[in-house]
Amino acid sequence: MHKFKILKNEKGEYRTQFVYNSEVMVWSENYASKASAKNCIESLKKNAPGAATVDLSKEETGSGYRFEIVESKDGQHFVRFKASNGETMVRSETYASKASAKNCIDSVKKNGPDAPTEDETASA
């Protein structure tokens, strides 16, 4: 089952994750407030399904809400989701194949809008 999680670190900062079973697919930066973490999730639910995919390894460009496929120095790939202001909202792990990075994007687009959110900060 796909879901979003809100977590809190030892410094009192909040972050979000999009998870399938126990695998973290994408995660956010740390935020000072829980409200910012919630806003990240709501923005993903609203904007990810219609967002373009830009393959930076093919020197494609884009603007607005978008997924970016980025090639790492060792030839693997990861995904970033950018807001319309150009800020990175979430990123993925590094995948050996570009196809796996594309599958990650497809999963966020398809399963994100209806995914429940678990707030795990009460137990932190």
Give the residue extent of every domain in the chain.
2-113
78 has a pLDDT exceeding 90: yes
Least confident of 16-20, 38-42, 60-64, 107-111: 60-64
- Calculate mean pLDDT across residues 70-85: 95
45 has a pLDDT exceeding 80: yes
What is the value of pTM for the model shown? 0.92
Handedness of CA 94, 54, 39, 31 (dihedral sign): positive
How much is the mean pLDDT over the chain?
A: 95
- DSSP-assigned beta bridge partners for residue 16: 6
CATH topology of domain 2-113: PH-domain like (2.30.29)
124 has a pLDDT exceeding 90: no
- Calculate mean pLDDT across residues 97-102: 96
